[in-house]
Amino acid sequence: MKQIIYILTALILASCSFKKEEKPNLVIIFTDDQGYGDLSCFGGTKVYTPNIDQMAEEGARLTSFYVAAPLCTPSRAALMTGCYPRRVSMEPPSSLTIDAPNLPKDKRFPVCLAADGHGLNPDEITIAEVAQSVGYRTGMFGKWHLGDQAEFLPTKQGFEEYFGIPYSHDITPRHARQKYFNFPPLPMLEMDKVIELDPDKNYLTRRITERAVKFIKDHKEENFLLYVAHPIPHGPQAASAEAKEAYKQVLDGGVKADNNIYSTAIYEIDWSVGQILNELKQQGIDDNTLVLFTSDNGATRKGNTKPLRGYKGQTLEGGMRMPTVIRWPEKITAGNDIDELMTTMDILPTFANLVGADLPPDRIIDGKDILPVLLDGAESPYEYFFYSHWGILEAVRWQDWKLRIVKDEVALYNLKTDIAEQKNLKDQYPEIVAKLMGAMANFEKEINENARPVGHVDNPVALTME
């Protein structure tokens, strides 16, 4: 059960009379494995993203915006809860993986695969439940990846409407590691019911977009939270026939970008962003809708993380610093670049402040209210930001400094002058190394003492057609 105090507070707030125009709608567009250099407005030369580029011109680029983990599941847990993944036990140590007795150590997975007994604990308060507490309509369309059992699905975590897939679209019998896991066919869900198996991956982006647009149309007279979680460009990369043809015409017209399926998939994501922004305009709710575009973690080596170093699965900047654009015509200055440190964990507390919702009083929320940064040019509210992978604390950022310790190799970088993490300054600044080691030790102790339990069910079953 959710915490009684929070629910009572939510009911009281929901009964209050707010005028619709006093509270903004919120749209979160979350892609999968898209790198820092995989938007042309972030310097990418291999992709063509005109709609997101225009979104940046009409809004702001967030150039030091981080996810809380370099992998799908823990990153999404942080977005939903406003907490470090380790806080909600969704970035497990290697011992907490799906049961696969013959799995080699180098083939480990995080929780939340197919027929997995682990998931985001139903007692966690998600951003969708925060929105519901003040009368918002909530919808999610796309990839969930926070547990595929009935107890963990989006419909149990505050989303009134859901259409999508429960985990990555490569988790099927054709997966390279199928011999270890015996994955079932990929299910497509409507609410908590499987409506088809093995959906055409080429049309995932298009179908998700169509449902997101319909949600906007259906709820244009209400305040809403819309979460669009594209499964792409995570492999296997895919795009619709319509997107392939449109992209071919763009390239034939002289646009300089790569002619491959990865860039085509990103072009279709950009098309999706355009569809959503256009619908907001058509419905007359554009000015007071905050739209955030970002990714769940860095690109694989098929993508582009330049000028950063590192990729998905690494605590180098390329694994956790995301290409992020925010647009809110009524409030955010157009054409702005904001280089202050912010994270996906901040979306929940910031949104709660915006809409007058109380945060649950009985738990630690790691995210910060970043409204002053976005609207008033304030400095980042973070003293330290911590980077973990596989439940192991590997790095910390303090101001422009980043200390990273992996396999006993210590490196200190100044991200202001060395965004690519090339020059190790640990010997020149031993006092900063000592300070940041102390911060990491304190964080390790605190989060181990105050972590909340992962969700768990016995005897999980594969989702399939009834």
Residue 83 catalytic?
Answer: no
| HEC per residue, 94-153 | CCCCCCCCCCCHHHCCCCCCCCCCEECCCCCCCHHHHHHCCCCEEEEEEECCCCCCHHHC
422's tokens = 């090339």
373's tokens = 């940064």
CA separation for the pair 269, 273 (Å, rounded): 6
27 conformational bin, left if phi > 0, alpha if psi -120 to 50, beta if neither: beta
Angle at the Cα of 80 (from 74 to 84), degrees rounded to 5? 45
68's tokens = 């809380």
Reported in sequence order, the residue ranges of 175-331 that DSSP labels E, i.e. its strands, are 187-190, 193-197, 224-233, 289-295, 321-327
**Contact in structure between 50 and 39 (CB atoms under 8 Å):** no
Q: Among 83, 112, 118, 145, which one carries the catalytic annotation?
A: 145
Residue 112 catalytic?
Answer: no
254: Cβ contacts below 8 Å, ≥ 6 apart:
none
- The string of DSSP codes covering 303-349 is S--TTS---TT-SSHHHHEEEEEEE-TTTSPTTEEE-S-EEGGGHHH
CA separation for the pair 276, 292 (Å, rounded): 12
Q: Among 72, 112, 389, 456, which one carries the catalytic annotation?
A: 72
CA R_g for the chain = 21
Catalytically active residues, by annotation: 72, 145
